[in-house]
Amino acid sequence: MDIYTISFLISTLWVGPFWIAMLVNPNKNKTKELMSKPLFFVGPIIIWFLLMLLNPQGLIDFFNLGSHPDGFIIGMSKGIATKVGVTATWAHMVAGDIFATRWVWADGIKRNNNLLLLRISIFFSVILMPLGIVLHLIFRNKINNSSA
C-alpha cells in the first residue's frame, strides 16, 4: 500500500466512529461530548494538508487552472485524475460530509426531532450529503419526539 491508499483509508475510517455515534446514540451525553470538539473533521483536513505538503505542485497547478490551455474543467480533471488528486479530493469530501452531518445531528437534537427521521437524515448525510440535508430540512419542522 502506498501513502495515497493509506491516506484514503484513514480519512474514510476517521469519520466512522463519529457518524456511528450520531446515528446509534444521538441523545447520549457521550455523543454530545464527542461531537462538541472539532476532532470529527480534523483528521481528513490534516490528511489534505499533508498531501498538499507532499505534493505542492498539485496545489500550484490548481491555482493555475484558469490558464490551462484546454480550459478550466480539463485542467481540473487532469489534476484530480492523479493519486494525490483523488486522495485530496476524497479527504476534502469526507470532511465536508461529516461537518454537514454534525450540523444535521445538532439541529435535530436541538429541535427534539423524531429519532427515526433524524437517523435517516444522519445516515444519508454521510452517504449522500445533499440528500441527507434535504431530508433533514423536510423532516425538521414536521415531527418531533414530543408528538411521536
Q: What is the pLDDT of residues 36-81, one digit of tens each?
A: 999 998 999 999 999 888 887 776 766 666 676 777 777 777 777 8
State residue 123 phi and psi, 5-degree precision.
Answer: -55, -50
pTM over 0.75: yes
In a domain, 10, yes or no: yes
In a domain, 143, yes or no: no
pLDDT in tens, 7-35: 999 999 999 999 999 999 999 999 999 99
pLDDT of 143 > 80? The answer is no
Q: Which of 6, 91, 83, 115 is nearest to 43 (CA)?
A: 91
Rounded Cα distance between 19 and 24, Å, is 9
In a domain, 97, yes or no: yes
User: Which triple of cell numbers denotes residue 60?
Assistant: 500550484
Q: Which domain holds residue 40?
A: 3-111
In a domain, 104, yes or no: yes
The count of domains in the chain is 1
In a domain, 120, yes or no: no
Rounded Cα distance between 130 and 17, Å, is 21
In a domain, 118, yes or no: no
In a domain, 48, yes or no: yes
